Amino acid sequence: MTTNAITPTTSTPPTTSSAGTAAGLGKDDFLKLLVTQLQHQDPMNPTDSQDFMAQMAQFTSVEQLTNMAKSLDRMSVASQTAQSVALIGKTVTWAKDDGTAGEGVATSVSFADGAIAIAVGDAQVAPNEIESVR
Domains of the chain: 49-133 (2.30.30)
Q: What angle do CA 28, 29, 31 make, to 5 degrees?
A: 65
Q: What pTM does this model have? A: 0.55
Whole-number Å distance between alpha carbons of 33 and 26: 11
Reply yes or no on whether the pLDDT at 131 is more than 50: yes
pLDDT in tens, 46-73: 667 787 788 778 878 888 998 999 999 9
Element (H, E) at 65: helix 49-85
Under 8 Å between Cβ of 48 and 54:
no
The DSSP string of 75-97 is HHHHHHHHHHHTTTTSEEEEE-T
Whole-number Å distance between alpha carbons of 3 and 1: 7
pLDDT in tens, 70-123: 999 999 989 989 999 999 999 999 999 898 999 999 999 998 888 899 999 999
